[in-house]
Structure 1
Amino acid sequence: MSHCAYCTQRKGKRVCPGLNGLICSQCCGEHRLVRVTCPSDCVYLDSGSDYQQKRLGEQFMPLRREFYRELGEFGGQQAISLFNLIEVITVSFFQGRRDGQDAEVVAAIQGLRRTLSPLHVPSAPMPVFAEHLIKEYDAFKKQNPKQIADSSNAPEILDRAIKFVSDFSGKDFQSRRFLGGLIGYVTAYHPEIAANLQKKHEPGHIVLPGQSFMPPPAAEAHEHGPECQHHRH
């Protein structure tokens, strides 16, 4: 009996090119593209990738909501706008790609942090997505200087973002769990934005808030008083 190369418990019934062995259908369904690096021509990808992203999106949603709440308490709207911009650019860049990895997102946020650090020292050439993220940030900051965190407060916000992405991604090598969760969330809950972000964007053409998917703001508290216009005719 040939055991599953992933769990080593159940019988392996499918040939898994990502593991160079056999995999059981349960592990294939749960771990493809998330903990198993699947080649783009694997015959089992299309049958389950949409379901996998939807499931990850559902897991991602409450954690994301809590992170946005924490960001708002820490750095206000500028902190929220910074992470939202990162999300929008990430979805635009990786949507439809099967070779993207969470490590690329973490490296890009780290690159942006180094760029915005007061002690920034130019380093070796950055990965492609890191350069893309920095260009988009610079373009947005130039157009909307007061809406987004800058070098005075961005480094600590980006440290929190790196931890959030890394925690959701997990410890598995070549994980896609964060990308799957983010894209799955946007596809399921903001399909119009997902469709719009499939289009190619030149640097600076990603505009917020029209393409943002931030949680809706809480209603402001209101006390009725002499100047209140409510119930007047």
Structure 2
Amino acid sequence: MSQCVYCRQRKGKRPCPALGGLICSLCCGEHRLVRVSCPSDCLYLDSGSDYQQKRLADQFMPVRREFYRQLGDLGGGKAVALFNLIEVVTFSYFEGRRDGQDAEIIAAIQALRRTLSPLHVPSGPMPVFAEHLKKEYETMKKQNPEQIADMSAAPDVLDRAIQFVSDFSGKDFQSRRFLNGLVGYVKAYHPHIAEHLQKKHEPGHIVLPGQSFMPPPAHEPHVHGPGCEHRH
């Protein structure tokens, strides 16, 4: 029996070019690109990522819907639009990349929050994705100033966004759980928007599709009344 080169407990079934031996499917799925430096041509990267995204999409959907409800109660459409922008920019930037981590998303939201805080203290250079998110926010704020949270409301929204991403991501510093959940959700439930966002856009000029992927409202049951055209 060939032992897994990672855990040394289960049977190794997949050739792992990074570790030079056979790895079990459990360790491959859990540690690829996180604790194992997988080469880009590994046969299991794409299939494994697709599986994780589909699995997490179903877990992501209900907690995301509840978070949007909380944002609506907090600050209405402007609060919702701010987090929707974060999701759009995150999907567009990280979809198709294998090296992205939730920590980058959290750091970018934290950086945006600092720039919008009235008590902003200058800091060092922003990470690449943080700068990208900041440019997209500034572009949308300039083009649609009445549709997205401004400096008076954005810090509170961003604090809640940081907590939401962190909670779904979990405690693993190199987690991709939120990122896989978001990407899987958009691909599974809004494929037309996924296709739109997969196209390359110039930094600061993401064109939002006509229909966002915010959770749809619940359908109200039909009630027969005086104006109803249904026959009784």
**Separation in 1 of the partners of 2:93 and 2:43?**
24
Q: CA deviation at 1:216?
A: 1.6
The one-letter amino acid paired with 1:153 is A
CA contact (8 A) 1:85 1:212 kept: no
Task: Kindly provide the amino acid, as one letter, of the partner of residue 216 in structure 2.
Answer: P
Residue 18 and residue 218 in structure 1: after superposition, are their counterparts in 2 closer, same or farther (change >3 A)?
A: same
Distance 2:28 2:112 in 1: 35
* Cα distance change on mapping 1:14 and 1:49 into 2, 3 Å: same
**Which residue is 1:198 aligned to?**
198
How far does the alpha carbon of each residue in 1:12-63 deviate from its partner, in whole angstroms, 9 at most, with x for none?
Answer: 3334456677531133235545775544232221233212211111111111
Structure 2: how far apart are the matches of 1:108 and 1:151? 16
1:113-128 matched pairs, under 5 angstroms: 113-128=113-128
Q: Is the 8 A contact 1:17 1:38 kept in 2?
A: yes
Q: Which amino acid aligns with 1:215?
A: P
- Cα-to-partner distance string for 1:54-79 (whole Å, 9 max, x where unaligned): 11111111111111111111121111
Contact 1:79–1:148 under 8 Å retained in 2: yes
- Where does 1:141-160 land on structure 2 (aligned, <5 Å)? 141-160=141-160
| Mapping for residues 64-213 of structure 1, pairs under 5 Å | 64-208=64-208, 210=210, 212-213=212-213
Change (3 A) 1:186 1:146: same
| Gaps in structure 1 of 5+ consecutive residues | none
Cα drift, residue 230 of structure 1: 3.7
Cα gap change, 1:105 to 1:145, in 2 (>3 Å) = same
- Give the whole-Å Cα distance in 1 for the aligned partners of 2:37 and 2:134: 27
RMSD: 2.9
Query: Which amino acid in structure 1 is aligned with residue 112 of structure 2?
Result: L
- On the 8 A contact 2:196/2:209 being kept in 1, the answer is no
1:12 equivalent in structure 2? 12
Aligned sequence identity (%): 78
From the superposition, tell whether residues 25 and 137 of structure 1 become closer, same or farther in structure 2 (CA, over 3 Å).
same
1:62 aligns with 2:37: no
TM-score normalised according to structure 2 size:
0.86
Q: Given residue 172 of structure 1, which amino acid in structure 2 is its aligned partner?
A: D
Rounded Cα–Cα distance in structure 2 between residues aligned with 1:180 and 1:110: 20
Pair 136,118 (structure 1): closer, same or farther in 2 beyond 3 Å: same
Tell me, in whole angstroms, the C-alpha distance in 2 between the residues paired with 1:212 and 1:18: 40
Query: Contact between 1:170 and 1:177, CA under 8 Å: does it hold in 2?
Result: yes
Partners of 2:6 and 2:23 within 8 A in 1: yes
Unpaired segments of 5 or more residues in structure 2?
none
Q: Could you tell which deviates more after superposition, 136-145 or 200-209?
A: 200-209
Q: Secondary structure at the match of 1:195?
A: helix
SS of aligned partner of 1:185: helix
